[in-house]
A and B are shown apart, each in its own frame.
Chain A
């Protein structure tokens, strides 16, 4: 199944173990096209493991993962052509400049030179990294790296953007720009799967929110649905704390 109406991301009964430790247990969720999904959970809840399974770095012990209808295990190349992934620790080649890295990514995704130059100029202006684009990335701060990695991820206009902690190290202006870019991406028909601890951002931009705790999905829905489920009219922070603390028996 590789049609345009297939979900952007689909996890069906996924389970992943690290030795005897169950990191993700029986996880089923679907990310629709044009949707911005925020994935929340305490440290060690299974967020990054889930993301690594979506992008094909880890294989589920049970269940299956599909990206735009392509099975990530058996048809990984087609699935990854639709994906962009930004890990929590941004990767850049230390001995390349930011521009050289972006050229490399553009060539990997078959962009024409005109497309490449136009998109780099646009992203550079919006994320404001023109000042250091021609410096070796080994000299970048965490925030600078994050901006270049974000630009590289958006360069080929992916159908699905999977991003782990997108706002870490960014200044307030850049955070605002990134939020705008995510919203624009979803309006253009793309999808964003975002793992974060920054509840304000999830509350502000996410279409749906999922909360994972001890490897299990304990809640999923729009902010209103979560509030209704929690039977309270409080903030996402209080809902999150209530759901994760209750399960800890606190």
Chain B
């Protein structure tokens, strides 16, 4: 081995990037070869979302332009908040991805045993996490930035498209570098479970922000003008001169006013800081990488010991209605779920946000002057709960059967009919979704003081939606499984997962249309009066369709699962 030659070209970042691009190319090629329809649909859907966002933002900006005084105040605030939120979200997502890439994957270990410097490895992972963490937000943020060009003369629009794009891209490395630093700190301070801790922290941060935001938005008896001043005063911190979001927002604000000297100054400040921060953080992390990696690999000590209650503990009570073999499977699933913070934390975040929203409803002081709003508000809450349930079942319930793939030999040997395993999965999913969704709906109904008929209707529809969605996810999970895949997120994103998502959304849309029409027709009825028979029939139809679809999906999946060969 020629050590001297190696020492001459110590930095091999070019080679590493080429390999990464080659992997990406192969991935794309495979997607084109194996699943062209899926790829086309994905691209079309992204384009659709992108265009919808573009036209929505453009409409907002054009309306704002009609009232120049409000636009002068609102635009800088909107951009300051937007980039502030981006700064926080991108920092955390970069931290999670950088941590996983640097301290949690075999690739880092492999590269570090090769004649590569830690600087090469850290630089590669920084670039990767920057792209992976930011692409979705960039994709969704670009319509906002580009639609801004609609505010200027048509003759100058080309310049503005470019300028706003540069502003946006120059900003991205700042949260990227902060995220990398956070990942390194996590490896040093809280090794092993850092990614999970990050996920929980993000959730808590979002909830606190929303809680604080809603408190800030609540109106008081004071005049609107006083409230507005007070609100602006509370929001002043986002305009602090040292915050990156303020550089970008100020630069854009100046550009819109054709003050190009100031705009380019802010752009220069953003680029300079992004480059310096990236350079400094990558060097720092590379310099102290060995110690952090060692700590991440060994800092867990002997690991957490879990007690194994043979009776299942609390799980036994939760699934007491199930026969023993099914209870054992459901208990096992619940244990796995509760011991994986990535799973329960996402459920907690989704429903935590919903509970925050519901608990803040009275403080919004919306004038519920007519019965129409009294019915519409709970209906909107039902929509929110249903959509969250659809998200949850697609992400967590659908992969349950696929994840049994490698253990199907065990499940197959159990002294029960194989399709009964599906009922165990279904019971597990129903128990969790029912517990959370029903508590949210009960809270909503109590807060809004809805009458008995509509309270019972909403609770029954919620329970039936849980049934329908869990049935679809378990049934399709068994009909379109990915037994070779161990990653639940990939299973949920596969062809079966996408089909499941579409089916769930269609079911929710049908059910909510039924209940929505009934609600709309009844909105001006006296509070104590029972709705018309046709409205009641629509609600019954909504419940029945959930039950029928759920049962059909379970039957379809059960038949397939009984004959499955792995």
Say yes or no: B3 contacts A81, CB within 8 Å: yes
Top 3 A-B residue pairs of the complex, sorted by shortest distance between their CB atoms: A19-B301, A95-B23, A91-B106
Q: Does B230 have its Cβ within 8 Å of any Cβ on chain A? A: no
Q: Does B215 have its Cβ within 8 Å of any Cβ on chain A? A: no
B-chain residues with CB within 8 Å of residue A58 when the two chains form the complex: 294, 297-298
**Bound-complex Cα distance A59 to B293 (A):** 9
Say yes or no: A136 contacts B26, CB within 8 Å: yes
**Bound-complex Cα distance A239 to B30 (A):** 52
**Bound-complex Cα distance A19 to B297 (A):** 11
Say yes or no: A21 contacts B302, CB within 8 Å: yes
Q: Does A157 have its Cβ within 8 Å of any Cβ on chain B? A: yes
A-chain residues with CB within 8 Å of residue B22 when the two chains form the complex: 95-96, 100
**Bound-complex Cα distance A248 to B376 (A):** 71
As a 0/1 sequence over residues 94 to 121 of chain B, the CB contacts with chain A under 8 angstroms (1 = contact) are: 0000000000001101101111110000
Say yes or no: A78 contacts B1, CB within 8 Å: no
A-chain residues with CB within 8 Å of residue B116 when the two chains form the complex: 80, 108
**Bound-complex Cα distance A73 to B294 (A):** 12
Say yes or no: B112 contacts A19, CB within 8 Å: no
Knowing A18-B301, A96-B19, the reply to whether A81 touches B6 (Cβ < 8 A) is yes
B-chain residues with CB within 8 Å of residue A85 when the two chains form the complex: 113
Say yes or no: A136 contacts B113, CB within 8 Å: no
Q: Does B290 have its Cβ within 8 Å of any Cβ on chain A? A: yes
Knowing A80-B114, A93-B23, A100-B22, the reply to whether A19 touches B5 (Cβ < 8 A) is no
B-chain residues with CB within 8 Å of residue A57 when the two chains form the complex: 109, 112-113, 293-294, 297
Say yes or no: B15 contacts A107, CB within 8 Å: yes
As a 0/1 sequence over residues 279 to 305 of chain B, the CB contacts with chain A under 8 angstroms (1 = contact) are: 000000000001101100111111000
Q: Does B537 have its Cβ within 8 Å of any Cβ on chain A? A: no
As a 0/1 sequence over residues 1 to 23 of chain B, the CB contacts with chain A under 8 angstroms (1 = contact) are: 11101110110100100010011
Knowing A95-B24, A95-B27, A136-B26, the reply to whether A19 touches B1 (Cβ < 8 A) is no
CB distance from B292 to the nearest CB of A (A): 11
Give the nearest-CB partner of B108 in chain A: A57
Q: Which of B72-105 contact A (CB under 8 A)?
A: none
**Bound-complex Cα distance A72 to B112 (A):** 12
Across the interface, A93 reaches (CB within 8 A) one of B5, B9, B19, namely B19
Say yes or no: B15 contacts A104, CB within 8 Å: yes
Across the interface, B23 reaches (CB within 8 A) one of A23, A55, A76, A96, namely A96
- What are 25 A-B contacts defined by CB distance under 8 Å? A18-B298, A18-B301, A21-B301, A21-B302, A56-B290, A57-B293, A58-B297, A76-B290, A77-B6, A78-B3, A78-B7, A81-B1, A83-B113, A87-B106, A87-B110, A91-B110, A95-B30, A96-B22, A100-B19, A104-B19, A108-B12, A108-B15, A110-B2, A110-B6, A159-B1
Say yes or no: A110 contacts B3, CB within 8 Å: no
Give the nearest-CB partner of B12 in chain A: A108
**Bound-complex Cα distance A108 to B117 (A):** 12
Q: Does A130 have its Cβ within 8 Å of any Cβ on chain B? A: no
CB distance from B468 to the nearest CB of A (A): 35
B-chain residues with CB within 8 Å of residue A19 when the two chains form the complex: 298-302
- Besides A76-B290, A81-B3, A108-B15, 16 other A-B contacts (C-beta < 8 A): A19-B301, A57-B297, A77-B7, A77-B10, A77-B115, A81-B7, A85-B113, A96-B26, A104-B15, A108-B12, A108-B114, A109-B6, A109-B115, A110-B9, A156-B1, A158-B1
Q: Which of B9-47 contact A (CB under 8 A)?
A: 9-10, 12, 15, 19, 22-24, 26-27, 30
Q: Does A222 have its Cβ within 8 Å of any Cβ on chain B? A: no
Say yes or no: B113 contacts A56, CB within 8 Å: yes
**Bound-complex Cα distance A107 to B27 (A):** 22
Say yes or no: A18 contacts B107, CB within 8 Å: no
CB distance from B566 to the nearest CB of A (A): 15
B-chain residues with CB within 8 Å of residue A18 when the two chains form the complex: 298-302
**Bound-complex Cα distance A73 to B199 (A):** 33
Say yes or no: B109 contacts A91, CB within 8 Å: yes
**Bound-complex Cα distance A21 to B300 (A):** 10
**Bound-complex Cα distance A85 to B293 (A):** 18
CB distance from A147 to the nearest CB of B (A): 17
Knowing A81-B6, A110-B5, A158-B1, the reply to whether A95 touches B113 (Cβ < 8 A) is no
Give the nearest-CB partner of A162 in chain B: B113
Most chain B Cβ neighbours within 10 Å, of A77, A107, A109, A156? A77
Q: Does A17 have its Cβ within 8 Å of any Cβ on chain B? A: yes
Knowing A57-B297, A59-B290, the reply to whether A109 touches B19 (Cβ < 8 A) is no
Say yes or no: A93 contacts B30, CB within 8 Å: no
Contacts from A to B (Cβ < 8 Å) = 16-21, 23, 52, 55-59, 73, 76-78, 80-83, 85, 87, 89, 91, 93-97, 100, 104-105, 107-110, 136, 156-159
A-chain residues with CB within 8 Å of residue B30 when the two chains form the complex: 95, 136
Say yes or no: A59 contacts B291, CB within 8 Å: yes
B-chain residues with CB within 8 Å of residue A73 when the two chains form the complex: 290
Most chain B Cβ neighbours within 10 Å, of A82, A96, A110? A110
**Bound-complex Cα distance A205 to B97 (A):** 44
**Bound-complex Cα distance A56 to B290 (A):** 8
**Bound-complex Cα distance A55 to B106 (A):** 14
A-chain residues with CB within 8 Å of residue B298 when the two chains form the complex: 16-19, 23, 58
CB distance from B184 to the nearest CB of A (A): 16
**Bound-complex Cα distance A106 to B81 (A):** 49
Give the nearest-CB partner of B15 in chain A: A107
B-chain residues with CB within 8 Å of residue A97 when the two chains form the complex: 26
B-chain residues with CB within 8 Å of residue A77 when the two chains form the complex: 6-7, 10, 115, 117
**Bound-complex Cα distance A18 to B300 (A):** 7
CB distance from A91 to the nearest CB of B (A): 4
B-chain residues with CB within 8 Å of residue A158 when the two chains form the complex: 1
Say yes or no: B115 contacts A81, CB within 8 Å: yes
**Bound-complex Cα distance A157 to B1 (A):** 7
B-chain residues with CB within 8 Å of residue A21 when the two chains form the complex: 301-302
CB distance from B489 to the nearest CB of A (A): 15
**Bound-complex Cα distance A36 to B290 (A):** 29
CB distance from A64 to the nearest CB of B (A): 14
CB distance from A155 to the nearest CB of B (A): 11
Across the interface, B109 reaches (CB within 8 A) one of A76, A87, A105, namely A87
Most chain B Cβ neighbours within 10 Å, of A17, A21, A73? A21
**Bound-complex Cα distance A240 to B114 (A):** 33
A-chain residues with CB within 8 Å of residue B24 when the two chains form the complex: 95
**Bound-complex Cα distance A96 to B21 (A):** 10
B-chain residues with CB within 8 Å of residue A104 when the two chains form the complex: 15, 19
**Bound-complex Cα distance A104 to B117 (A):** 16
CB distance from A189 to the nearest CB of B (A): 12
CB distance from A184 to the nearest CB of B (A): 17
**Bound-complex Cα distance A58 to B291 (A):** 8
CB distance from A203 to the nearest CB of B (A): 28
**Bound-complex Cα distance A82 to B6 (A):** 11
**Bound-complex Cα distance A97 to B25 (A):** 12
As a 0/1 sequence over residues 336 to 355 of chain B, the CB contacts with chain A under 8 angstroms (1 = contact) are: 00000000000000000000
